[in-house]
Amino acid sequence: MPAAAKSTLPEEPPPSSPAPAAATPMMAQYLDIKAAHSDALLFYRMGDFYELFFADAEIASRALGITLTKRGRHLNEDIAMCGVPVHAADDYLQKLIAKGFRVAVCEQLEDPAEAKKRGSKSVVRRDVTRLVTPGTITEERLLDPSETSYFLSIGRTKGTAATPEMALAWIDISTGQFRLSETAPDRLLSDILRIAPREITVSESVFHDPALRPVFDTLGLAVTPLPPSLFDSASAQDRLTRFYGVNTLDGFGRFNRAELSAASGALAYVERTQISERPVLQRPQRDDAAGTLFIDAATRANLEIERTLSGSREGSLLKAVDRTVTGGGARLLAERLRSPLTDYCTINERLDSVSFFLIADDALPGQMRECLKRCPDMLRALSRLSLNRGGPRDLAAIRDGLQIANAVRELLHREELPKELLEAHEFLSSAPGVVMRDLDAALADEVPFLKRDGGFVRAGYHEELDELRALRDESRKVIAALQSSYAEETGVRSLKIKYNNVLGYFIEVTALNADALTATDEAKGRFIHRQTLASAMRFTTTELADLESRIANAADRALSIEMEIFDGLQARVIEAAESLRGAANAIAVIDVSMGLARLAESEGYCRPKVDDSRNFAVTAGRHPVVEQALRKQAANPFVANDCDLSPEGNSEQGAIWLLTGPNMGGKSTFLRQNALIAILAQMGAFVPAGSAHLGVVDRLFSRVGASDDLARGRSTFMVEMVETAAILNQAGDRSLVILDEIGRGTSTFDGLSIAWATVEHLHGENRCRTLFATHFHELTALSETLSSLHNVTMRVKEWEGDVIFLHEVGRGAADRSYGVQVAKLAGLPESVVLRARAVLDQLEAQGRDTKASKLIDDLPLFSAVARHDAPQPKSNALEQAVENLAPDDLSPREALEALYRLKDIHRGKPR
């Protein structure tokens, strides 16, 4: 049944006809609240439903696929209306948020009975308690446990040469993370993609800046412009100190004006969306962008690090390497993959942690994995509790998480641990044991989802609660005994005592047996009539009413005590937020290290040697995603290849490998696999290779494949040139560059010239480690003049006119591209393949430097038949037929027939 197909609450009738000139009190309240949140859909609470009216209802009904109704009139117009049940609101919110909507949740702030005390026409007090936006979700059902849920704020000041003018602040309300980083206009897009927020907030002036607007349009994320006053760096310190309840930020560290501006905007958005609630956020931590590998937007997309080009997680690098078993571990792995490090010391500390689990006692990894599998998501449970949206299961998650943390700590022997795991062990040791014991003592083993359901406090924890529960629960036996007594007294064996929310407890008999309760004055005095139905009558007694009162009070008082216990436990959990967060983060670190160790063991990865050199030497490297895909398809095993871009001798210049070979030979795979190996190594993971020695890469650039950017008026070739220009302008001697088919989007000579000049610039100016794949075989001649350029090729074999791809990289240059053979494999018609071979043979016979015009003249394909600017060739039959025509002697019909005859002769079908 559609969610909207129901009536609204009895305590407040919706606006009804006849339509007044002014709004009803309830509608006036709705309009006032809606005016304050005009940019969001308003979920207006009416009892057990959230209602939407007017344009909101029309939008929501289309987006959610629910029934649109009309109830009452306002200003002589029907009021459009739809609604969703409160208990299912999360599902509907998820759909709306996924479609880019913001939702203002308006709750009832008092009981309807309290409103009636002010008068029969009084309206229940309501107000918006939160704004639900893509970046501020906390509900467990709306969040992917393996993905972060950041919203990002951009701060900008005038700046100076010594002070950055822009900064980023990003917050994950669901976990309490709060970070800051400097940025600049030319790297804004790359930094945003590195953080991967779900939503962005900016000052209105920044949003409308023509220089920055293309960045927001490119991202395709929800961007919310806010008043510039919220980003004022002068008042930012006051906002931060007020939020954290401190007098000064000295204990937080020193922040520049741009960072303060971004932080102020982020906290302002938290306050705006969470209304009166305040999440427990960690103190803002600076994230040094200079300490992470710079990956520009095009490279991040081309390498399919987190998502494929189609937007799927399946087929990405992250999916291929993820062996974590906890939500926190999965999120940490994704963050590390998005932001590989450039500090080789920290990288090696992470690698030490992975090595620890590979050489540890055989039983430890298995025991640890089984332990972590049971670990709940403490950070998200903590966040919901701090926002008063938590329930008994969130308290149980904290309890169970702390128990797991204690078990993990006992499994790790402190004296054997590398630095990163030692720090994690210390955090686990400082986990609040008192909180764990309090929660364990108070909470039942199995708890309900909602605290209003009660029953989550362990029996024996609270004496009065146990007594009230006994009265409530044993009342069923009392009711059953009373029912038996009444049945015996009246002689009606089918008499039942039932309960509903309207009448409470009542006695029900069939209409045929009702006389037994109404036949005598004594019976009438004892059994009080309550309700008559078509087939039954309902009664009560003074005794039953008294029992109902005692039962109801016991249940209400028991639930009240449980609520008090919940509030006390919640307060204790929030007080211990910092130590809880430390324990949860420690578990995530252990999970990531253990998962990467499991990956290395199962896939045969090696530990890379990472240092401060310019080396890039990979032996038997493989593509992590393709290798696993081939194994799943039971195809031929992946062919491993070496790659050495290290400087030679005393040179500080990285080598350039000029890679030639046929399409489908594996050039793009080879290029990508080496870039992915660099990313894995610098995030602190083992790599798919026999061995690897990698000097830290500070910037990674990739131009592999291209597409139109029609929205910005750019052709495929223009996109290619823009990306190439970015590489040539930004790559340094520590960068790694992979380029595929530069110059193929334009004419042969233009493309060859651009590719030629690009290689020379990379060699002479950028001096970076480079893999350059090309079909311009002429470029191989550059190895004679460029000392650091080496020719390599994808090896193939020809067999009876077909080509066999070996997928091996070897020294030397390809002498042809085998395009015709690939076309045959692709299924082109045989006639096209044969014709292409003939044309290719003719071209190769005449030489690659032959003038295009001469080739056209010499090739039958480009003979005068196919050229509009040359005279049409005539066969002898056609010439003879034309000569025999006498136009002056032909009638119109004869002329038409002659024309058809000439056409047939031209086609070779003479009549």
Query: What pLDDT, on the 0 to 100 scale, is given for residue 400?
Result: 96
Query: What pLDDT, on the 0 to 100 scale, is given for residue 847?
Result: 59
> Is 664 labelled as part of a ligand binding site?
yes
DSSP secondary structure of 349-369: HHHHHHHHHHHS-THHHHHHH
Residue 1, CA distances (Å) to 15, 61, 70, 156 in order: 24, 14, 17, 51
DSSP secondary structure of 407-457: HHHHHS-GGG--HHHHHHHHHHHTS-HHHHHHHHHHB-SS--SSGGG---B
Positions of E strands within 586-632: 609-611, 616-621
Residue 822 sits at the vertex; the CA angle it makes with 816 and 825, to the nearest 5 degrees, is 155
Candidates 147, 208, 213; CA nearest to 175 is 147
Per-residue tokens: 515 = 């006389």
Distance CA 729, CA 136 (A): 38
* Whether 791 contacts 785, CB under 8 Å: no
Residue 390 has pLDDT above 70, yes or no: yes
For residues 807 and 685, the model is more confident at 685
Distance CA 500, CA 38 (A): 41
Residue 867 has pLDDT above 80, yes or no: no
Query: What pLDDT, on the 0 to 100 scale, is given for residue 12?
Result: 45
Distance CA 126, CA 204 (A): 30
Which residues have C-beta within 8 Å of that of residue 265, sequence separation ≥ 6? 153, 154, 155, 169, 201, 202, 203, 226, 230, 231
Indicate whether this model's pTM tops 0.85.
Answer: no
The per-residue pLDDT for range 793-834, each reduced to its tens digit, is 988 887 766 677 788 999 988 766 667 777 777 778 878 777
Strand, helix or coil for residue 694: strand
* Whether 514 contacts 491, CB under 8 Å: no
Least confident range of 400-404, 546-550, 664-668, 853-857: 853-857
> Is 666 labelled as part of a ligand binding site?
yes
**Between the ranges 483-492, 663-672, 742-751, 837-846, where is the mean pLDDT highest?**
483-492
> Is 647 labelled as part of a ligand binding site?
no
Residue 219 has pLDDT above 80, yes or no: yes
Element housing 766 (H / E): none
* Rounded mean pLDDT, 496-502: 88
Q: pLDDT-derived band of residue 908, with 50, 70 and 90 as boundaries? A: low
The per-residue pLDDT for range 749-779, each reduced to its tens digit, is 888 888 899 999 999 999 999 999 998 888 9
Which residues have C-beta within 8 Å of that of residue 452, sequence separation ≥ 6? 559
| Single-letter residue type at 415 | E
| Neighbouring C-beta atoms of residue 65, cutoff 10 Å | 10
Query: What pLDDT, on the 0 to 100 scale, is given for residue 72?
Result: 78
The per-residue pLDDT for range 893-904, each reduced to its tens digit, is 777 778 877 777
Residue 671 has pLDDT above 70, yes or no: yes
* Whether 564 contacts 305, CB under 8 Å: no
Q: DSSP code of 687? A: B
* Rounded mean pLDDT, 579-590: 96
Q: Is the CA virtual torsion 292, 297, 300, 303 positive or negative?
A: negative
Residue 806 sits at the vertex; the CA angle it makes with 814 and 603, to the nearest 5 degrees, is 130
Q: pLDDT-derived band of residue 862, with 50, 70 and 90 as boundaries? A: very low
The per-residue pLDDT for range 545-580, each reduced to its tens digit, is 988 888 878 888 999 999 999 999 999 999 999 999
* Rounded mean pLDDT, 631-658: 89
Q: pLDDT-derived band of residue 19, with 50, 70 and 90 as boundaries? A: very low
Least confident range of 22-26, 270-274, 671-675: 22-26
Q: pLDDT-derived band of residue 161, with 50, 70 and 90 as boundaries? A: low
> Is 65 labelled as part of a ligand binding site?
no
Query: What pLDDT, on the 0 to 100 scale, is given for residue 852?
Result: 39
Distance CA 788, CA 337 (A): 31
Q: Which residue has the tokens 């991202």?
A: 219
> Is 783 labelled as part of a ligand binding site?
no
Percent of the chain with pLDDT over 70: 90
* Rounded mean pLDDT, 476-505: 90
Q: pLDDT-derived band of residue 859, with 50, 70 and 90 as boundaries? A: very low
Strand, helix or coil for residue 403: helix
For residues 800 and 102, the model is more confident at 102
Instruction: Specify the CATH number of the domain 463-566.
Output: 1.10.1420.10
Q: pLDDT-derived band of residue 849, with 50, 70 and 90 as boundaries? A: very low
Least confident range of 97-111, 302-316, 825-839: 825-839
Strand, helix or coil for residue 863: coil
**CATH 3.30.9.10 correct for 141-291:** no
DSSP secondary structure of 216-284: HHHHTSEEEEE-GGGG-HHHHHHHHHHHHT-S-SGGG----HHHHHHHHHHHHHHHHHHTT----PPPP
Mean pLDDT taken over the chain: 86
Q: Which residue has the tokens 């210049």?
A: 653
Chain-centre distance of CA 351, in angstroms? 27
DSSP count for the chain of H helices, then E strands: 32, 27
Distance CA 485, CA 25 (A): 51
> Is 668 labelled as part of a ligand binding site?
yes
> Is 663 labelled as part of a ligand binding site?
yes
Percent of the chain with pLDDT over 90: 55
For residues 565 and 221, the model is more confident at 565
* Rounded mean pLDDT, 879-888: 75
What's domain 25-132's architecture? 3-Layer(aba) Sandwich (3.40)
Query: What pLDDT, on the 0 to 100 scale, is given for residue 838?
Result: 79
Same fold: 322-432+576-603 with 463-566? yes
DSSP secondary structure of 637-659: PP--EEEE-PPPTT--PPPEEEE
Task: Annotate 18-55 with b (16+ C-beta within 10 A) or e (fewer).
Answer: ebeeebbebbebbeebbeebeebbbbbbbbebbbbbbe
Q: pLDDT-derived band of residue 608, with 50, 70 and 90 as boundaries? A: very high
Per-residue tokens: 326 = 């906890």
Residue 580, CA distances (Å) to 232, 432, 586, 591, 592 in order: 33, 7, 10, 17, 19
Residue 17 has pLDDT above 90, yes or no: no
Query: What pLDDT, on the 0 to 100 scale, is given for residue 816?
Result: 66
What's domain 322-432+576-603's architecture? Orthogonal Bundle (1.10)
Task: Annotate 778-795 with b (16+ C-beta within 10 A) or e (fewer).
Answer: ebbebeeebebbbbbbbb
Residue 700 has pLDDT above 80, yes or no: yes
> Is 667 labelled as part of a ligand binding site?
yes
* Whether 338 contacts 317, CB under 8 Å: no
* Whether 358 contacts 401, CB under 8 Å: no
Q: DSSP code of 662? A: -
Residue 740, CA distances (Å) to 39, 293, 303, 660 in order: 45, 21, 13, 10
The domain locations on the chain are 25-132, 141-291, 322-432+576-603, 463-566, 609-815, 828-866, 876-906
Query: What pLDDT, on the 0 to 100 scale, is given for residue 898?
Result: 80
* Rounded mean pLDDT, 435-439: 95
What's domain 609-815's architecture? 3-Layer(aba) Sandwich (3.40)
